Structures are given as C-alpha cells and as structure tokens.
Amino acid sequence: NAGVTQTPKFQVLKTGQSMTLQCAQDMNHEYMSWYRQDPGMGLRLIHYSVGAGITDQGEVPNGYNVSRSTTEDFPLRLLSAAPSQTSVYFCASRRPGQGLWETQYFGPGTRLLVL
C-alpha cells in the first residue's frame, strides 16, 4: 500500500491564482481530512469528509473548497490564492471507529508559497 499520497510536494503561486492540491489513499478509508500547518499554530482542520459525497467544514475553511466523488480521492481547491494561504498542507485519512478515533495516517504534505 502507498498509504496517503499528496501532489505536488512544492508549489509557488501568485496572488489570485487558483490550484488544486491532490490527495489519494489506497487503504479504503472512509474518513479524510485536510489540515494546514503554520509555525507555532499546530495543525488546523480545513475540511473533512466522512465518505464519498459527504464533506463538512473544519476550523479554517474560508478560501478553500473540497469535493469527494470517490473513496480514494479528496482534492483541496484554492479558489483565489492569497499570501495568508502560504502554509504546509497535510491530507489525512482513517477508518471509521466504533465511537472512537482510529489511527489517522498523514500524507507527506504540500508546501505552498503564495507571492
């Protein structure tokens, strides 16, 4: 199993450009999430999905869109990039638990710089 994969690894954008961060997992996990990590801020949840066709907002959803058409893929779209979106983005996935959280697996991350 490849686990959780993310592309690209690095990206530089200009303010106002749009782009999609790709995330895929081959573990048949129903739950997938997107986090951003900024220095000293920990990991903040952007959007998450509990299954194909179901998504919901996290703590910091503004400026980002997601969709979940398949179990495997959970892309994150930046509609109009802003310098405040410069960050490291992590995708994560897990199996649904029996009222508890199962182990969450993180992808390697995408480092995004918005000029």
Number of residues that bind another protein (CB under 8 A): 27
110 near another protein, judged by CB under 8 A: no
- Helix, strand, or coil (residue 45): strand
Query: Shortest distance, CB of residue 86 to another protein, whole angstroms?
Result: 17
- 8-38 as b/e: b if 16+ CB within 10 A: eeebebeeeeeeebebbbeeebebbbbbbee
**At its nearest, how many Å lie between another protein and the CB of residue 79?**
22
Report the residue from 48, 60, 74, 87 that binds another protein according to the rule CB under 8 A: 48
Considering the complex, state which of residue 58 and residue 63 has its C-beta at the smaller distance from another protein: 58
Closest by CA position to 11, among listed 105, 81, 62 = 81
- Subset of 7-36 contacting another protein (CB under 8 A): 31, 33, 35
